[in-house]
């Protein structure tokens, strides 16, 4: 059996979207961004996933512009990549609030080696999506933000979830980031496809940092209790 690192690297090297998305939606694939992103991405996975041990599979929504949309690593912005993972980054040290929360969880459990030895994070949609807002700026866009987009992406999303299961060797449970639309979509799809025996929702990091900042420590404790077997 291939090591998880090699499974992930192979998946993203071959990843491409062959369906037409609605007008105005841009697809963000950091793995087409050049050697610098590829180098840090491969270094990260070979550092933390150089084994075949199954992991708990966590699925977010889709990569954000300043986190996985840049580094290729879910919920890991360049600043966390350097400061918490010890992996050099030559570009701007971009900041993503969701990444800050996830790495607060990681620090609380004892660091990246402890966390990633038990958890593998991916997304329902593995490619980032953006759209121009009324001010003419590109902003993050979710795979479920329009019915037309979701319908166009559906076969791709189903294929991706099955692949992430294989990568993590996780077939019993899935941990869904987002108790709203992401959870509803994933639960509905799971009823049709039978990917997992259960889907366990957690509040999305973006929701926590935006609306529940004063309760941050409670949410960190919840993540530790739900995700880590020794908590």
Query: Cβ neighbours of residue 93 under 8 Å, at least 6 residues apart?
Result: 78, 79, 82
pLDDT at residue 37 greater than cutoff 90: no
Share of the chain above pLDDT 70, in %: 97
d(CA 139, CA 177): 20
Please tell me the predicted confidence (pLDDT) of residue 97: 92
Confidence band (pLDDT; 50, 70, 90) for 134?
A: confident
Query: What's residue 21's pLDDT?
Result: 93
pLDDT-derived band at 230, boundaries 50, 70, 90: very low
Reported as a single tens digit per residue, the pLDDT across 92-131 is 888 899 999 999 999 999 999 999 999 999 999 999 999 9
Which two three-digit tokens encode residue 152?
């166009």
């Amino acid at each position: 059996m291939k090591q998880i690192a090699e499974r992930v690297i192979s998946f993203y090297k071959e990843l491409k979207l062959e369906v037409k998305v609605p007008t105005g939606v841009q697809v963000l694939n950091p793995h087409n961004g050049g050697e610098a992103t590829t180098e840090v991405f491969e270094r990260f996975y070979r550092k933390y996933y150089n084994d075949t041990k199954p992991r708990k599979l966590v699925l977010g929504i889709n990569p954000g512009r300043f986190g996985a949309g840049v580094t290729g690593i879910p919920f890991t912005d360049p600043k966390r990549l350097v400061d918490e993972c010890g992996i050099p980054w030559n570009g701007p040290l971009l900041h993503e609030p969701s990444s800050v929360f996830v790495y607060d969880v990681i620090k609380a459990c004892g660091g990246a080696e402890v966390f990633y030895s038990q958890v593998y994070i991916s997304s329902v949609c593995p490619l980032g999506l953006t759209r121009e807002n009324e001010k003419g700026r590109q902003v993050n866009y979710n795979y479920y933000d329009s019915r037309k987009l979701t319908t166009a992406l559906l076969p791709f999303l189903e294929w991706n979830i099955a692949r992430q299961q294989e990568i993590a060797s996780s077939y019993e449970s899935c941990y869904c980031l987002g108790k709203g639309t992401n959870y509803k979509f994933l639960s509905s799809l799971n009823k049709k496809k039978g990917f997992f025996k259960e889907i366990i929702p957690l509040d999305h990091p973006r929701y926590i940092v935006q609306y529940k900042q004063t309760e941050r420590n409670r949410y960190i404790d919840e993540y530790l209790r739900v995700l880590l077997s020794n908590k």
